[in-house]
Amino acid sequence: MGDLWVFGYGSLLWNPGFPVAETRVARLHDWHRSFCMSSIHHRGTPERPGLVLALDHAPGAVCHGLAFRVAARHAEDTLGYLRARELISSAYIETRQEVALVEGGLQGDVLTYVIDPDHAQYRTLGLEDQARIIAGATGGRGPNDEYLENTAAHLHALGLPDPDLDWLVTRVRQLKSG
């Protein structure tokens, strides 16, 4: 196996968990970042599910994120790690996508996890409903709002703010403060 490229748009931005040889800002076309996956493991429980980000197919949309290059010597272990992390409930589908590197043209065959819209954990919710769920959920990896805040903060640090995430951060803070 040669080098492995991975597209990060949510928690991989701030917690990849694998050795990264190179990081590039990238765009994925025809997908958008959305809190469309119910989380019963990492950011919620079966009794009180949270929400996590997933890539939802949307022709014409663009999702900004990071493309991580993993050196060939770490590719197989990284693939195993990501499958254990991302495919815990089969709500994600493992795909290979072409991304546009902001500096460097196109990169094909990029490992990208997208939502299965036919899976029981797929949700289509308005921002207010998302905020209410995120404000009250906690799972094995911590509070749901921590996940939201970390992702939004890292997107800002990269110069890639996401208006929906920014709105959610503000609204969740309001809900949690009373």
Residues catalogued as catalytic: 86
Half-sphere exposure in the Cβ direction for 8 (13 Å, CA): 27
* R_g (Cα) of the chain, nearest Å: 16
Cα diameter, the chain: 52
Query: Rounded distance, CA 58 to CA 61, Å?
Result: 6
Helices (H), the chain: 72-86, 127-136, 144-157, 163-176
Query: Rounded distance, CA 117 to CA 174, Å?
Result: 30
In the chain, the amino acid numbered 132 is: R
Query: Rounded distance, CA 27 to CA 124, Å?
Result: 23
